[in-house]
A and B are shown apart, each in its own frame.
Chain A
Amino acid sequence: MAVLEISDLVVSWDPATRQRLPVVKADVVARLRAAADARAARIVERIPTDGPNLDDAAVDRLLVRAHTELQRLGEELHMAQRFAEMLVPVLAAARDGGVHPLRVVDIGCGLGYVVRALASSGVLGPDVELIGVDFNPALVGEAQRLAVEERLPCRFVCGDAFALDEDATLYLSNGVLHHFPADALGTFFRAQDRPATAAFVHYDIAATRLAPLGAWIYHRARMREPLGRHDGVASARRAHGDDVLLAAAAQASGMETFLFEPTRHANPFCAAMRPVIGIRPALTARFRAELGRRAKGLVGPR
């Protein structure tokens, strides 16, 4: 039975124009019921409608509320520090390799917590441009508002991260990979194997047996929005295993790919989030050197 996330179903975009499409509430409810997820169906039934369609403004407010809560998870799991731990060595290797300019793009940034936290700390250095990209204009608008309010040196763009005017030096994402079906992951990683790109770092939930239980406890304790509680557990159930991610990442054939501290190398609780990393072979030695002893945590395809 397919595991569905409500947040994937309540908004829809035209793949060609990226224009927002109306979402018929009854269709979403039927899909969730067909997936034997009555609870999720009830959550969607409570969303206000505009005729037969879900009300766009109500959906946007709901998603902003859920993402605002979700940021707490990122804060408590130290996601900005975790990204910095990988990004600082990658960018040091890129600088050494003469890569310029240094542009970091967050794919599916939501409210842009990681980008804004990295911008706030300044840990990546003043020569790094930070950009968050998401298809959802409501989330991008909120991310930009928050960045302006705190005068953070970063910006947010609504659209396709792979269709920006300039490619990224480094692509990152946080909790995005499980939204792709396993057979679509290869396309996602291949899209990042472009000339100007030196590396990618994508964090997602480690697919351990305990992950759904841990997600349930955590979301029950920390989240108020029923949508957030539901999707948090669904995310853990949908998470891709280490081998699936490594095989998909390897399709970016111009990169060396690794998992950092994958499940079998770490305590299942501590490995709640772990990254898949791709880096140009010319930069790998320097990246390892910058990581120091932590480089032992890098595990490539078997």
Chain B
Amino acid sequence: MIPITLGVLALVDGLFAGFRAATGRNARIRKDAYNRRAAWRGLGVGAAGAAAVGLLVAIGIAVAADPGQRYDELVSAGGRMLLVLLPFAAVVVLSLISYLLLPMRESTFVMVLALGPFTLVRPAVAAVAGIVAAVGSTDRLVWLVAAVATASVLMVEPAVHRRWYSEPV
């Protein structure tokens, strides 16, 4: 369950990162298709990052003296990561739903007070999650996976932005 939850979180985060990477680069009024495309691009890059992490995990387990123990160690680190990520993700999703559903002024309140600051602290939250996952283990593979997973999540937005949205449409 923990690996699946982490994978889903990474993919959903990739969708949003793709959306953010494209914002501020298209001044058209009607741009739903543009935003959808950007989100898919983010998902694609996020999926590539998640696949790289999965490959690293698979290799690490394959070469381990005790694959079962290493797998348990990795799952345990993933659990610690979720302790940080899930509450943050829950609050972000709640804020997003509120922004979309609330009347104009209240949704502005949510944007200014929640969604803006959340975007700002997101890299720090991801970094803390990586650190919390790593420090609970002495296995260097866990450290490496935590570092690569954190980096792969954080690089989606800049990568998508640089590749497709460095200049206004």
Residues in chain A within 8 A of chain B (CB atoms): 64-65, 67-69, 71-72, 76-78, 81-82, 85, 111, 113, 116-117, 120, 142, 146, 149-150, 152, 214, 217-218, 220-224, 267, 269-270, 272
**Least CB distance, A14 to chain B, in whole angstroms:** 28
A-B contact pairs, 8 of them (CB 8 A): A72-B23, A81-B104, A120-B29, A146-B29, A150-B30, A214-B112, A223-B24, A269-B112
- Which residue in chain B gives the minimum CB-CB distance to A273? B108
Q: How large is the interface on B (under 10, 10 to 19, 20 to 34, 35 or more residues)?
A: 20 to 34
The answer to whether A116 touches B29, judged by C-beta atoms less than 8 angstroms apart, is yes
**Least CB distance, B46 to chain A, in whole angstroms:** 20
Q: How many inter-chain contacts with C-beta < 8 Å in the A-B complex? A: 71
User: Considering the chains assembled together, what is the distance between the CA atoms of A95 and B92 in angstroms?
Assistant: 45
The answer to whether A78 touches B104, judged by C-beta atoms less than 8 angstroms apart, is yes
Q: A120-B29, A269-B112, A270-B109 are in contact. Are A222 and B104 (CB under 8 A)?
A: no
B108 CB contact (under 8 Å) in A67, A78, A116, A217: A78
The answer to whether A272 touches B27, judged by C-beta atoms less than 8 angstroms apart, is no
Which label, helix, strand, loop or mixed, suits the secondary structure of the B interface?
Answer: helix
Residues from chain B with a CB closer than 8 A to the CB of A223 are 24
**Least CB distance, A293 to chain B, in whole angstroms:** 13
Residues in chain B within 8 A of chain A (CB atoms): 23-30, 104-109, 111-113, 116-117, 119-120, 161, 167-168
Q: A82-B104, A270-B109 are in contact. Are A222 and B23 (CB under 8 A)?
A: yes
The answer to whether A120 touches B30, judged by C-beta atoms less than 8 angstroms apart, is yes
The answer to whether A269 touches B168, judged by C-beta atoms less than 8 angstroms apart, is no
User: Considering the chains assembled together, what is the distance between the CA atoms of A273 and B75 in angstroms?
Assistant: 48
Q: A76-B111, A150-B30 are in contact. Are A270 and B24 (CB under 8 A)?
A: no
The answer to whether A218 touches B30, judged by C-beta atoms less than 8 angstroms apart, is no
**Least CB distance, A273 to chain B, in whole angstroms:** 8
Q: A65-B168, A217-B117, A222-B119 are in contact. Are A146 and B108 (CB under 8 A)?
A: no
